[in-house]
Amino acid sequence: MRPQTLRARIAAALPVTALPGPLPLRYHAAAPHSRLSDLSKTPPYWAYPWPGGCALIAHLVAHPDLVKGKCVLDIGAGSGLVGIAAALLGAASVTASEIDPAAREAIALNAALNEVCITLSRDLLSGPPPEADLILIGDLFYAPDLATRVLAFLTQTGTAEALVGDIGRADLPRARFRVLASYPVRDVGDPPSAASQCGEILQFIG
């Protein structure tokens, strides 16, 4: 499917929704009628706000100096919400790395909704990290092979600070990180009555 066609179909199928929280952030969210399987051959992870990403957004709002004037890299960006939050909080530039073509089109749509500029990139985990002041990673430690790739990437990042948002997934190598903060979040699929979970912010220490 051509990118322009895919983008138009995402815009038509996923209604604009406000993300709960302190930022006026809007995005195209999955709805019961969205028929996501028609839009992507891979699981549409990008159509939902994941808890690790929501924890990262809360942390950036609490500590805006982390991103203000900085060059930010959002790895495994999904729908781009973390990178968009960084841009709204004053990042000098934001690059969103995402392997799924549908996700990249959703990021473009969501960035336009929020009137911010996001540079789109394909998968960056296989190569040397681009220049960045801050690397943000939400919910990428959900499978052993992916966790290995992310960790290898982080070991090459030099002086860039790297923050991960996570809710205790088994493949996160906790010994390589330091917990900085935690925020109440909900996981994808949790009913409104479900208790909130703990979304941790972890700093990579090498």
- Split at pLDDT 50, 70, 90, the class of 205 is very high
Give yes or no for residue 5 having a pLDDT over 90: no
What's the total number of domains in the chain? 1
pTM: 0.93
Q: Are 156 and 170 in contact (CB under 8 A)?
A: no
Q: Please report which confidence band the pLDDT of residue 1 belongs to, taking 50, 70 and 90 as the band edges.
A: low
Maximum pairwise Cα distance, the chain? 45
Would you give the end-to-end CA distance of the chain in angstroms?
40
Look at residue 3 in the predicted model and tell me its pLDDT.
65
What tens digit of pLDDT does each residue of 14-57 get? Answer: 999 999 888 999 999 988 888 877 777 777 888 889 999 999 99
Burial group, residue 181, by CB count within 10 angstroms (0-12, 13-18, 19+): middle
DSSP 45-103: GGGS--HHHHHHHHHHHH-GGGTTT-EEEEET-TTSHHHHHHHHTT-SEEEEE-S-HHH
pLDDT digits (tens, 9 = 90+) for 178-194: 999 999 998 887 877 78
Return the CATH number at 104: 3.40.50.150
pLDDT of residue 181: 98
Specify whether the CB–CB gap between 20 and 29 falls below 8 A: no
Q: Are strands 134-138 and 161-166 parallel, antiparallel or unpaired?
A: parallel
What tens digit of pLDDT does each residue of 46-86 get?
A: 888 999 999 999 999 999 999 999 999 999 999 999 999 99
Range of the domain at 31: 3-204
Q: What is the pLDDT of residues 111-158, one digit of tens each?
A: 999 999 999 999 999 888 889 999 999 999 999 999 999 999 999 988
pLDDT of residue 80: 97
Residues 134/161, Cβ–Cβ less than 8 Å:
yes
